[in-house]
């Protein structure tokens, strides 16, 4: 609301070729303060603030030396790491094309490709101390199927983190409503000293996304 009491939210006229759902999405984007702030701050997506808020709470980034960004496109998270840990080596991967980011190695390929883990670790001068994943599977419209597909990616990311992180390292990943599945939660607790869930303020209230933060990778047997 403006000071005059009038609602200042911008409304979008429904174009002939635009569906009602896409019109609602566009209205939400135009009126989203995080979208406006991202443009002002030079971040490629509002998702940057989710990582900033998680970092403020869990101290994920400052002091990081080598970082892996799974699902890097469009690059907002990598931009945050570059700002908060400018000397860190960063490598990211995504199926989607991602515009170059200074100081970041970007691989355009499927993380589930057997060759992906080796290519990611080869791009860093040593084991990562932070693995972060904002990956989500393409939705098919069936809630249970979409959940299973996304959690399958999270599990693959978790195993990658467990197998490649240096001792004491951190893993942060997007999960869906309900948090981490029981088996995956048990896996993380067995390998990390602390495992917590959080929903940063920048995550839309109506969104089903949460984040799992696993810190302090235990020594490997």
The answer on whether 129 is annotated among ligand-binding residues is: no
* pTM for the whole structure: 0.83
Residues 118-130 have pLDDT tens digits of 999 999 999 999 9
Region 203-211: mean pLDDT is: 84
- How far apart CA 59 and CA 84 sit, in angstroms, is 11
Pick from 185, 140, 138, 179: which is nearest to 158 by CA? 185
Q: Provide the 8-state DSSP code for 14.
A: -
Tell me which of 1 and 146 has the higher pLDDT: 146
The answer on whether 9 is annotated among ligand-binding residues is: no
174 is an active site residue: yes
The answer on whether 110 is annotated among ligand-binding residues is: yes
The answer on whether 55 is annotated among ligand-binding residues is: no
45-217 is classed in which CATH architecture? Answer: 3-Layer(aba) Sandwich (3.40)
Pick from 99, 105, 108, 110: which is nearest to 76 by CA? 99
- Annotated catalytic residue: which of 174, 189, 196, 199? 174
Q: Where are the domains of the chain?
A: 13-42, 45-217
């Amino acid at each position: 609301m403006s000071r005059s009491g009038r609602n200042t939210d911008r409304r979008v006229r429904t174009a002939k070729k635009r569906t009602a759902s896409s019109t609602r999405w566009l209205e939400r984007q135009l009126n989203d303060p995080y979208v406006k702030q991202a443009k002002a701050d030079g971040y490629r997506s509002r998702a940057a603030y989710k990582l900033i808020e998680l970092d403020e709470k869990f101290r994920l980034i400052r002091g990081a030396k080598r970082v892996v960004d799974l699902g890097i496109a469009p690059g907002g998270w990598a931009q945050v790491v570059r700002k908060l840990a400018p000397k860190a080596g960063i490598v990211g991967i995504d199926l989607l094309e991602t515009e170059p980011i200074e100081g970041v190695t970007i691989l355009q390929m499927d993380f589930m490709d057997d060759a992906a883990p080796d290519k990611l670790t080869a791009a860093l001068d040593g084991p990562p101390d932070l693995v972060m994943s904002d990956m989500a599977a393409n939705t098919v419209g069936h809630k249970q199927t979409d959940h299973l597909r996304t959690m399958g990616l999270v599990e693959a990311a978790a195993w990658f983190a467990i197998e490649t992180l240096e001792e004491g390292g951190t893993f942060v990943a997007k999960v869906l409503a309900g948090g981490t599945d029981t088996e995956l939660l048990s896996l993380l607790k067995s390998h990390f000293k602390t495992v917590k869930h959080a929903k940063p303020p920048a995550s839309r209230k109506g969104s089903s996304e949460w984040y799992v933060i696993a810190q302090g990778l235990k020594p490997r047997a």
